């Protein structure tokens, strides 16, 4: 599995309030929520993002609230992957649980430029900046998490476990 | 090698003799929590995955607190989804309007959570219950759904930072100043994926309300959980309140900590986190030139009895500054009732403040105190991110109830100084 698209760059400590402001959280509808993705940090994002595009950010991406709406709107917008130097822990969990690919890679997050064309291979964790030709190796997921991803999310992996267990 | 207090609780709930940092485990859950924003998403996931019953109707807690009494039709629909699910599954800890309070003030108050518990909640401030000596952490809605279905969750066992507290707090400081000082020292990801374990004679000298406030904001340093040792203060608080018998876990003497941070509580000063990160801390004394339009005293961080008391003692017989709007929100109905009974509501109103029923409302920019462009608020809440309380060009300064109340009287940010 892979994604390929252009890069949107954001700084350190992108919080869940700018990813999806709480004033919109009066609905659980992902399509409606996605219209406001990144609104308070980059109002143009939802108009520019195309399927497969990649968010590249600094340290502690997704800090703040536990709202699963945050990874959900990023995924629903069509974003193929988020690469960051680090992720806040609840966002990290939520992204895995809902099937939004995320990768921790300090060097890639440091060097990849806004607007670059990037290809990300989720099986190998190899990130290729097509624009510059440079490649990066992201931290691989532990097998336990790989299984959740392979099953298509936490609940599906639990159901599968029930059948086999 | 010894285990930290958090590791001890996790090992016991995973049925293991010992665990080490980094280990992936499956642990049994004592309580699974959700609110009116996160539960509807969990209910969808729960149903979509084909689960038809919760693992234990007495171990699921659903609290309507973010947008209630409902702020609009959509919020009402979300509450309705929670209400129907709670009814369908006979969820015994379901708290609707009239009974509800802000979840992290309510569950300890009602004895739903206790020492030794392993708790997940689909709200990031679920880490609050570490004050009771529980392992408690925030998760998302899918984890909540899985927890409701199976009564278990997966965890990566965290390493820990120890905060060794000594001395006693000055009279105009509280737990809020301690945790803001710590976040200022280590940063908003200073404890990422880790436990924050509070020890020392200074920790034992802190009141339960201070401990709840400190653990509440562990997430603001990126932590998985915050935790205090169980002592006489804890047991006195739990006695007659806790639905289940508390279980006491202690860190091993040879427990391994990534580092120990020494803090003399006597050196703490009234502290304020400036926009737009909780780590941007200054002493209140440095911020006298910052005028405020609004003051909010409340939230899961500071809406408890001692917080109301601080507000009362400072505002009683005085009047808030012209042009300042002061909103006071007791965190639970029991606290509200107590404030009314003691005559504090009259004092708040006479001081020119407005008082609300319990709600998370303004803290997350939901309702009940939204800021316009260019407006500035000093709040006892927990986050001051861009747009957190309203317009993207508004500003939130985080502070203790003492500092917020004193600032309401002054019209600018100031520490409280006893007359």
Say which DSSP state B162 is in: E
**Is the per-residue pLDDT at B367 higher than 60?**
yes
Structure tokens at B290: 């910052």
- Angle between helix A154-164 and helix B38-48 axes, rounded to 10 deg: 40
- Are the beta carbons of B302 and B130 closer than 8 angstroms? no
- Would the CB atoms of A63 and B224 count as touching at under 8 Å? no
C-beta atoms of B145 and A155 within 8 A:
yes
**Three-state DSSP state, B264:** strand
**pTM of the complete model beyond 0.80:** yes
CATH number of B271-410: 3.30.499.10
User: How far, in Å, CA of B149 to CA of B253, rounded?
Assistant: 37
Q: What angle do CA B267, B269, B273 make, to 5 degrees?
A: 130
For A47-98, the pLDDT digits (tens) are: 999 999 999 999 999 999 999 999 999 999 999 999 999 999 999 999 999 9
pLDDT above 70 as % of chain B:
100
Q: Which residue, among B265, B262, B280, has the nearest Cα to B177 in the 3D structure?
A: B265
Helices marked H in A27-142: 30-34, 45-48, 69-76, 89-98, 106-111
Cα gap A114→B210, rounded to integer Å: 44
Q: What is the CA radius of gyration of chain A?
A: 15
pLDDT tier for residue B357 given thresholds of 50, 70 and 90: very high
- Measure B313 CA to nearest chain A CA, in Å: 32
Q: Which residue bears the tokens 């859950």?
A: B29
Distance from CA of B390 to the nearest CA of A (A): 8
* Selection from B116, B18, B162, B15 nearest residue B7 by Cα: B18
Judged by DSSP in three states, B62 sits in: strand
Q: How far apart are CA B283 and CA B273, in angstroms?
A: 9
Spatial strand order in the sheet of A117-121: A102-104, A81-84, A54-57, A2-9, A117-121, A126-129, A134-137
Grouping H, G, I as helix, E, B as strand and the rest as coil, residue B215 is helix
Contacts of B404 (CB under 8 A, 6+ apart): B295, B296, B297, B311, B378, B379, B380
CB B202, CB B168: distance < 8 Å: yes
When CB atoms are compared, the residue of A21, A88, A155 closest to B45 is A155
Q: How confident is the model at residue A145 (pLDDT cuts 50, 70, 90)?
A: confident
Instruction: Tell me the C-alpha distance between A120 and A85, whole Å.
Output: 15
List all residues 6 or more positions away from B173 whose beta carbon is below 8 Å from its beta carbon. Answer: B265, B268, B269, B270, B271, B400, B402
Q: Return the ∠ at Cα B400 (arms to B396 and B401), rounded to 5°.
A: 105
Residue B76 CA to residue B268 CA, distance in Å, equals 43
Nearest residue of chain B to residue A143 (CA atoms)? B24
First to last CA, chain A: 28
Q: Which residues of A touch B45 (CB under 8 A)?
A: 155
Q: What average pLDDT does the structure give for chain B?
A: 97
Q: Tell me, letter by letter, the H, E, C secondary structure of B325-370.
A: EEEECCCEHHHHHHHHHCCHHHHHHHCCCEECCCCCHHHHCCCCCC
Question: Measured between CB atoms, does A114 come within 8 Å of chain B?
Answer: no
Question: pLDDT for B116-159, tens place per residue?
Answer: 999 999 999 999 999 999 999 999 999 999 999 999 999 999 99
- Residue A41 near chain B (CB below 8 Å): yes
CATH number of the B5-264 domain? 3.30.499.10
CATH topology of domain A2-139: Aconitase; domain 4 (3.20.19)
Residues ≥6 apart with Cβ < 8 Å to A153: A97, A98, A99, B142
Q: Residue A100 has what pLDDT?
A: 92
Domain boundaries, chain A: 2-139
In chain A, the residue whose alpha carbon lies closest to the alpha carbon of B71 is A26
| Mutate: best of B77, B128, B140, B145, partner A, most A CBs <10 A | B140
Give the range among A60-74, A137-151, B124-138, B273-287 with minimum mean pLDDT.
A137-151
d(CA B377, CA B48) in angstroms, rounded, equals: 42
Distance between start and end Cα atoms, chain B: 52
Binning chain B into helix, strand and coil, the percentages to the nearest 5 are: 35, 20, 45
Instruction: Check if B5-264 and B271-410 are the same fold.
Output: yes
Q: Which among B271, B351, B355, B363 has a CA at the least distance from the CA of B314?
A: B351
Measured distance CA(B128)–CA(B131) in Å, rounded: 6
Is the pLDDT assigned to residue B202 strictly greater than 60?
yes
Least Cα distance to B354 among B304, B305, B320, B396 occurs for B320
Mean pLDDT (whole number) for B349-368: 98
Domain definitions of chain B by residue range: 5-264, 271-410
Using a pLDDT cut of 90, give the percent of chain A over it.
Answer: 80
Token readout for A62 is: 């997704």
The verdict on a CB contact (< 8 Å) between A90 and B149 is no
- Nearest partner of A60 among A100, A93, A13, A92, judged by Cα: A13
Q: Is the pLDDT of residue A116 over 80?
A: yes
Give yes or no for residue B419 having a pLDDT over 80: no
The residue-averaged pLDDT of B55-82 equals 98
Q: Are B364 and B384 in contact (CB under 8 A)?
A: no
| CA–CA distance, A58 with A81 (Å, rounded to integer) | 14
Is the CB of residue A119 less than 8 Å from the CB of residue A128? yes
Contacts of B154 (CB under 8 A, 6+ apart): A144, B24, B25, B26, B27
Q: Which residues of B touch A38 (CB under 8 A)?
A: none
Going from the C-alpha of B308 to that of each of A15, B78, B288, B327, the distances in angstroms are 30, 30, 24, 12
């Amino acid at each position: 599995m892979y994604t390929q698209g252009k890069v949107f760059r954001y700084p350190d400590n992108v919080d869940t309030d700018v990813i999806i402001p709480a004033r919109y959280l009066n609905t659980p509808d992902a399509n409606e929520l996605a219209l406001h993705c990144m609104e308070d940090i980059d109002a143009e994002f939802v108009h520019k993002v195309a399927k497969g595009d990649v968010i590249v950010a600094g340290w502690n991406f997704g800090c703040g609230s536990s709202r699963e709406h945050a990874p959900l709107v990023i995924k629903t917008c069509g974003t193929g992957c988020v690469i960051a130097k680090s992720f806040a822990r609840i966002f990290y969990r939520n992204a895995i649980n809902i099937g939004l690919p995320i990768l921790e890679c300090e060097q890639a997050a440091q060097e990849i430029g806004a607007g670059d064309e990037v290809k990300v291979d989720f099986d190998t964790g190899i990130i290729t900046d097509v624009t510059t030709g440079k490649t990066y190796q992201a931290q691989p997921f532990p097998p336990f998490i790989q299984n959740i991803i392979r099953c298509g999310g936490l609940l599906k992996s639990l159901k599968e476990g029930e059948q086999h267990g | 090698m010894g285990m930290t207090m958090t590791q001890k609780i996790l090992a016991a709930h995973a049925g293991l003799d010992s665990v080490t940092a980094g280990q992936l485990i499956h642990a049994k859950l004592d309580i699974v929590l959700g609110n009116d924003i996160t539960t509807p998403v969990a209910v969808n996931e729960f149903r979509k995955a084909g689960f038809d019953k919760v693992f234990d109707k007495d171990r699921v807690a659903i609290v309507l607190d973010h947008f209630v009494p409902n702020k609009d039709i959509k919020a009402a629909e979300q509450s309705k989804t929670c209400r129907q699910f709670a009814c369908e599954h006979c969820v015994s800890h379901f708290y609707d309007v009239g009974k509800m309070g802000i979840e992290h003030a309510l569950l300890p108050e009602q004895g739903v959570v206790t020492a030794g518990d392993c708790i997940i909640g689909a709200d990031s401030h679920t880490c609050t219950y570490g004050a009771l000596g529980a392992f408690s952490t925030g998760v998302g809605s899918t984890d909540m759904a899985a927890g409701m279905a199976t009564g278990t969750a997966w965890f990566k066992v965290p390493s820990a930072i120890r905060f060794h507290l000594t001395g006693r707090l000055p009279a105009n400081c509280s737990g809020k100043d301690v945790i803001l000082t710590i976040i200022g020292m280590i940063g908003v990801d200073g404890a990422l994926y880790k436990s924050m374990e509070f020890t020392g004679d200074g920790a034992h000298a802190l009141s339960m309300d201070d401990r709840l406030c400190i653990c509440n904001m562990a997430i603001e340093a990126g932590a998985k959980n915050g935790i205090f040792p169980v002592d006489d203060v804890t047991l006195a608080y739990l006695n007659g309140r806790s639905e289940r018998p508390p279980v006491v876990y202690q860190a091993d003497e040879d427990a391994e900590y990534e580092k120990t941070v020494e803090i003399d509580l006597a050196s703490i000063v009234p502290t304020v986190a400036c926009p737009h990160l909780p780590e941007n801390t200054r002493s209140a004394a440095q911020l006298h030139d910052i005028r405020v339009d609004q003051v909010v005293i409340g939230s899961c961080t500071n809406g408890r009895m001692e917080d109301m008391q601080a507000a009362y003692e400072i505002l009683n017989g005085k009047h808030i500054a012209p042009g300042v709007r002061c909103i006071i929100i007791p965190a639970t109905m029991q606290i509200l009732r107590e404030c009314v009974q003691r005559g504090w509501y009259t004092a708040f109103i006479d001081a020119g403040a407005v008082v609300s029923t319990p709600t998370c409302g303004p803290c997350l920019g939901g309702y009940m105190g939204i800021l316009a462009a260019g407006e500035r608020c000093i709040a006892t809440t927990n986050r001051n991110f861009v747009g957190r309380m309203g317009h993207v060009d508004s500003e939130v300064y985080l502070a203790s109830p003492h500092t917020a109340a004193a600032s309401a009287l002054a019209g600018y940010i100031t520490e409280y100084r006893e007359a």
